[in-house]
Structure 1
């Protein structure tokens, strides 16, 4: 054997997505977590359809859905802190059981018309309060299973792309089910998915136990309790804020240019396809740039593409711009989770990921409301500029600071 050949034979293999799934017990835990997380892709549309059918009021259904989402987002760090403190085996099953039971209660209340709006709102808010943080818990488990940072990047990228596909396939599944059974069956399906998936997840032999606090201040559920965490949380919130209004902006663009609004799902599908491709490429590339710098670059690039969409003259250009914008979504969010994992101590990994997740969801809810108020009040091009400017602004604010002066003794 020649020397070059011998040298090549001892080089470590490059990490791959197949290598992620070959990690002992990873495939079993990941499959169970995805089963539970599919519930998050089905529950929103199922709740909206069920409440609308039961009350006949879009105002009531919108209020119920908002209360459900607000309770889920605002209390996510608290629930994640419980998982860090007591371990997934002890904390997840009670959360999943209560959440599933409340979804079943909502299904029973909405099975026939005439349900009291106040009772529906209360049950929805309680269900949101007990929503198990399966995404942050699975990402924390990836950190336990994978110790090589390059392979962990692949694992997070695979996790992010799979989660996005669940949010695309979940509403489609509810749409098919709604044509065969009452809308409340979608809530029962969501309950079944979360309970079955969470119970299968915690039976994995690699599930970590309780994580004792490394210092008393680490018990704080605020992001400031983890030094440096505010940067990925802020950027994730800016990305969520920028993305949330794209549905309305694309619909307004098609209406303004006299295109068929039936094309809107295809344009948004191009956004999701771009995100999936970008996420897989991001996980495959051997990045040398620090995670915080990468995060800000991805967020700034996303914002710039959205902002330049204001110049799109036709539908084809808009679709191309949405595909390009999507290529930065999964990399930005994956890098935010990776950075949060780097910054968090062992006893706060789930909570750190939950703060990033909550920031994305909170930004999405706020952005949709603000975009709805802006459309019609200002030109559509300005709406695209403002949407992209939010992502660019948070990237600039959270960017790493260089020393301007040398240290003095």
Structure 2
């Protein structure tokens, strides 16, 4: 557990006991999420020859994951990662492997692919929310936690660079369905390695059940005290009059503050824009007879996001946190609209990199708000609701884009994808506030936590 006297740097985050081991395991599993979506779209397109089927299967995969994301996170909040993640990861890996076999030859039935994708989405392990909760457990110093969240987001964006590039390499030597098998191996090994980390023993379980009050092996006495305080905070929050427990789902969780509700609205807009962008990029590249640029465009978006997230996390922001989120979303939306006017896919690579500069900072801010708006025993679920908003928007817009491609000019579709991003930000920019539960510091109007700037990240 970090000490408040430690300088808030990225190196200090990684020197925290058990942090590097735990983080590396989580990132290995999360690399699967950089490989699976593009692999699934390309594999289904190759097997069926239809953009509409590919978009629909991807939408089903995302939507089932979205709808059950809070339930999966709630299981982890109640029982801890060690009891929930291994069976969940095993089932998910098996289903991805079956999907890989089902899309390995042309003519696979679209209905069968949709059913398999739905089942896989329903069992997707929430490795991102789990890791964010572990950061809050490992680090007691809020400025240091800011750096951890930014590092987490930047590292994951690098995975979203590596993921599409890995898919591109696989496309050169084998069929797209192999990417689904690779994704299955990554998530299984990563999840099992994560739960083997000593840091997981201090995971805050709702109601103080399990070993949430214990500290990881090798940690100092401050870690035990902090974990015990976290467990006490869970109990205190659940007993506070007028505050409903997070176990009651969306209404109970979001009743804690307008800030979280507004963050979810903006994140949903971001998901709509970026979800449609994935399929529009494929159509744009194929229209220009340059399918080899697809992985590079996707990678450029994530590379720009990594650079933006790293810079954002290192700045001491004084502007209100909600208005920062709105400004970042507007900037991203305008860039997405402009990229539709690119004359060639290589120009689109540059546009994607520019737009990416705003992705990680925007999601950073949304996830910090979620962390500050939930008690220790509900942080996984709070982060999952932000994930749910992003993925719901992404899945729905992917299906819509698949139906509209070929019926509207691509520049118009890029502008249409950007509209929800801008509108959600504008609609919430003047009413955004952040509410924190009892006993936890909040950003308030100034976006400052305990005298330090707010900031954190993760790609949903």
User: What TM-score results when the alignment is normalised by the length of structure 2?
Assistant: 0.73
Does the aligned pair in 1 maintain the 2:162–2:299 contact within 8 Å?
no
| 1:110 Cα deviation from its structure 2 partner | 5.2
In the alignment, what sits opposite 2:261? 230
Aligned residues: 392
Going from structure 1 to structure 2, the CA distance change for 1:47 and 1:253 (only over 3 Å counts) comes to closer
Going from structure 1 to structure 2, the CA distance change for 1:63 and 1:236 (only over 3 Å counts) comes to closer
In the alignment, what sits opposite 1:29? 22
Of 52-61 and 346-355, deviating more is 52-61
SS in 2 for 1:75: helix
1:143-182 equivalent positions in 2, closer than 5 A:
143-177=136-170, 179-180=172-173
Does the aligned pair in 2 maintain the 1:223–1:352 contact within 8 Å?
no
SS in 2 for 1:206: helix
Does the aligned pair in 2 maintain the 1:99–1:131 contact within 8 Å?
yes
SS in 1 for 2:316: coil
1:71-220 equivalent positions in 2, closer than 5 A:
71-107=64-100, 109=102, 118-177=111-170, 179-180=172-173, 184-207=177-200, 208-212=203-207, 214-215=237-238, 217-220=245-248
1:78-120 deviations in whole A, cap 9, x for unaligned?
Answer: 1011111111111111211221232334345556677665554
| 1:56 Cα deviation from its structure 2 partner | 7.1
1:135-167 deviations in whole A, cap 9, x for unaligned?
Answer: 111111111112222222221122112222222
Gaps of at least 5 residues in structure 2 are 208-233, 239-243, 434-460
In the alignment, what sits opposite 2:422? 392
Asked if 1:368 is matched to 2:398, the reply is: yes
1:240-255 equivalent positions in 2, closer than 5 A:
240-247=271-278
Of 244-253 and 207-216, deviating more is 244-253
Equivalents in 1 of 2:8, 2:416: separation in Å? Answer: 39
In the alignment, what sits opposite 2:11? 18
Does the aligned pair in 1 maintain the 2:276–2:397 contact within 8 Å?
yes
Going from structure 1 to structure 2, the CA distance change for 1:292 and 1:204 (only over 3 Å counts) comes to same
Of 280-289 and 46-55, deviating more is 46-55
In the alignment, what sits opposite 2:379? 349
Alpha-carbon RMSD: 3.6
Gaps of at least 5 residues in structure 1 are 1-10, 404-409
| 1:304 Cα deviation from its structure 2 partner | 3.6
Does the aligned pair in 1 maintain the 2:55–2:401 contact within 8 Å?
no
Going from structure 1 to structure 2, the CA distance change for 1:253 and 1:237 (only over 3 Å counts) comes to same
Which among 334, 339, 352 is matched to residue 364 of structure 2? 334
User: What TM-score results when the alignment is normalised by the length of structure 1?
Assistant: 0.81
1:62-73 equivalent positions in 2, closer than 5 A:
62-73=55-66
Of 196-205 and 46-55, deviating more is 46-55
